[in-house]
A and B are shown apart, each in its own frame.
Chain A
């Protein structure tokens, strides 16, 4: 049977609509499933004014069988088959005849019992109960109250519509009773519309200027944009985020093309497009990557026959571009180098000092990274870029448009004639902004970006800034992920632990926690971030833990480790080998380290294991240090037969102490080699898997 729910509200922010859609679908699925109501179909739609759920559910709950267990069969009936007092008493209590009792098999044997069939309730009755709970439990990035109620939601609710099988489900919430009506577009059709089904609803809203399906609205926007751009042979300056936002902000998308004076084309594209995007949410129009004196806007309207929308937006944009031009020209009057003197006035973080302090640290960190990454040729220029990197925080442009930080500095540096390496490095210093964003395109940009981020992380951790579930005031997660992403994208090799040491040394006395504490917190933090990144890339959680358990000193190798494990997990050698590795670990657990003495090997199998191991070790170690973990692993598999016969024939726990310790020593050496590959004890093999998977969440 068809289900339709619409929560009509005042304008919700796009992120809230999406959050609401996802939660309401999940919660409804959980509630219906636990109420034993079959779901044939369930999906959601959203606009800034509506959360819409459409479904196809069975009309009623499944019937439920309940078994009431009574006395054991042997007690209930005498050997001659007559019912005892126990049976009669139970039957009476249940309100049935003794003859209606049935045999119930339990773990403890056969009992007499009664099977009751509970008729499933109609789905509409269940919906009536669960919908108010589900809606009240939705959570949004920021909640509000209105009127006189403590109830919280994204924005005030205006109306509720709920139908199941064309009948109203009249649930109550916050003084509203769900009905069968809604309203159309807030300007064109604010009157009530009565609907009977989803198709009816969709049709009625379409007639009243609301496209309920976000995918459809996006298509409408793109098609209209193409129509406007075609004659100009131009393109949209891509801005997926803005497009996504607008898809939710408007219920009736209408795209208009506006223009502005060519005088503003002297401004950089980044500045123009930012001035257009922020506030008015306009798209900039480009041809061959150059800005044209046009823009596209998306209005919540069905037409603009008098061009009032277009002209109004042109007037507002003119003012914004005038401001932008003013900022650009003002900023260029003071060279970056001179402006950098002002950095000492700008606080980076209260305990960590000013941006001047940060700049001094940055110069040292990039210099160190250039050495470690064997990039001596660019070192001087990268240091120069680091020196100027934060100056744009003092420009009018970045003050007005904070999203241009970095880019602004890069543009000014280019304008002042700094080398393209320097200006690009400044320009790219905040990249990647997220895991989806691209890493800096230049090595110089990558170095500045990593240096800036590690400086922030070590500093923040050092003065006790905590990252908790929802709060990350310094963006430390994003920073750490940015560093990891750059390393993985550029396949960079350097010691992460040494980098931490270096940054700690540069900070010196400024930090409040001890060096050991900070280092270990930072390492844990990066392990968690790497785990998150690898999980997002689809690797199995236990393989990830095994790879990260080895070491994250070389972050790129952590990735190669998990990749190698993933490539080998299907090999027939894999699971037996893991079991073997675990066995080795279990045996040597809690033993102090011992040294191998080859003369003490008594049995053939232990001598053989020792020599196989020595050969394998010699072959494998160079591979490990080159990061070729797949090949190394394939060779390590070859230790298995020798280990097998060792365990078959040799008693590790020998009576004689010297023999026993020597055997421990051999196993310890093997374990140490294995740990250079991965912490195999983290890997879950068949049979163990389910239990551990639950614990890992």
Chain B
């Protein structure tokens, strides 16, 4: 099974569970959690079921295409269901069986791993799912996002597509994976990994990035004032990515890190409050 087969299988499985199939968000994000299809939709009380592939960028994880496991961009398959169904764990386990994995022959474990994203004021409780020691999924019951206690509670299932594919193909190098029957991961992504690693670690212009951060932050503030919350949130995502780039240039001190994360979180929390109509009258 190639990566594209894997994607198609998961899409089929989760749309079969009633999920609407979204398309990847068109901004740089560190995780599928950060896209509006997750972030905004978990805040309110309405039921929500969605599945989508999301490319996730983590500049510091780049290795110039030389490490068999680490890449600065990878693909997640993200599922959000709200409220969390009582048998969601079983539904998830069956998704693995639907990929042709005979679980009786393997060791499937749910290891305590609580998730937290200080940038978007979110945390949850759950596990990393290990299949024969390989982490293939992050499984989380969201408790809070944008600083707001979530009710009903959404469950988030994030498959690491490359990891899962490495398991399915029994590979130990990510670049050997088959994207399709005649195209490898290296064919599609090697050049991108090399060039972006060089950019992330050496070329990204620190001074300009700092300015950009300030610009996006200001823009977000203005947009929040005007209650244009989706565009405001886009600005926060841009801030977050710029922050990640600065981080990969090792341009951020420990105190500065706390401060910048705090700046983004403040904005995101304001957006969440306004979006849910809980904004404190000022």
Query: What is the interface of chain A, defined by CB distance below 8 A to chain B?
Result: 10-11, 13-14, 48, 142, 144-148, 150, 155-156, 158, 186-188, 190, 249-250, 254, 279-282, 297, 299-301, 304-306, 308-309, 311-313, 315-319, 322-323, 345-347, 350
Query: What is the interface of chain B, defined by CB distance below 8 A to chain A?
Result: 67-69, 83-86, 89-90, 93, 103-112, 114, 125, 127, 130-135, 141, 143, 151-153, 155, 166-167, 170, 172, 253-255
Besides A187-B108, A280-B133, A299-B132, 8 more A-B contacts (Cβ < 8 Å) are A146-B153, A186-B108, A188-B104, A190-B90, A305-B105, A315-B172, A346-B254, A347-B255
Answer whether A142 and B153 are a contact pair too, CB < 8 Å, given A249-B109, A297-B133, A299-B107: no
Can you list 12 A-B pairs, Cβ within 8 angstroms, ordered by A? Answer: A10-B110, A11-B109, A146-B153, A148-B153, A156-B141, A249-B111, A279-B135, A299-B109, A300-B108, A316-B134, A319-B172, A347-B254
Answer whether A11 and B106 are a contact pair too, CB < 8 Å, given A145-B141, A282-B133, A319-B69: no
The answer to whether B110 touches A147 (Cβ under 8 A) is no
Residues from chain A with a CB closer than 8 A to the CB of B111 are 11, 249, 281
Give the complex CA separation of A167 and B152 in angstroms: 36
Contact of A145 among B85, B106, B127, B153 (CB under 8 A): B153
Give the complex CA separation of A629 and B143 in angstroms: 57
The answer to whether A300 touches B107 (Cβ under 8 A) is yes
The answer to whether A309 touches B68 (Cβ under 8 A) is no
Give the complex CA separation of A148 and B150 in angstroms: 10
Residues from chain B with a CB closer than 8 A to the CB of A188 are 104
Give the complex CA separation of A14 and B106 in angstroms: 22
What number of residue pairs across chains A and B have CB atoms under 8 A from each other?
113
* Min distance, Cβ A484 to any Cβ of chain B, angstroms: 31
* Min distance, Cβ B123 to any Cβ of chain A, angstroms: 10
Contact of B130 among A280, A304, A345 (CB under 8 A): A280
Residues from chain B with a CB closer than 8 A to the CB of A315 are 134, 166, 170, 172
Residues from chain B with a CB closer than 8 A to the CB of A281 are 111
The answer to whether A147 touches B132 (Cβ under 8 A) is no
The answer to whether B112 touches A148 (Cβ under 8 A) is no
Give the complex CA separation of A300 and B143 in angstroms: 29
Give the complex CA separation of A297 and B134 in angstroms: 13
The answer to whether A155 touches B133 (Cβ under 8 A) is no
Give the complex CA separation of A346 and B130 in angstroms: 34
* Min distance, Cβ A327 to any Cβ of chain B, angstroms: 12
- A252 nearest in chain B by CB position: B107
Residues from chain B with a CB closer than 8 A to the CB of A304 are 105, 107
- B125 nearest in chain A by CB position: A144
- B132 nearest in chain A by CB position: A312
* Min distance, Cβ B66 to any Cβ of chain A, angstroms: 10
The answer to whether A187 touches B114 (Cβ under 8 A) is no
The answer to whether B109 touches A300 (Cβ under 8 A) is yes
* Min distance, Cβ B135 to any Cβ of chain A, angstroms: 7
From A190, A249, A308, name the one whose CB has the most chain B CB atoms within 10 angstroms.
A308
* Min distance, Cβ A584 to any Cβ of chain B, angstroms: 58
The answer to whether B132 touches A10 (Cβ under 8 A) is no
Answer whether A308 and B133 are a contact pair too, CB < 8 Å, given A249-B111, A319-B172, A346-B254: no
Give the complex CA separation of A3 and B253 in angstroms: 59
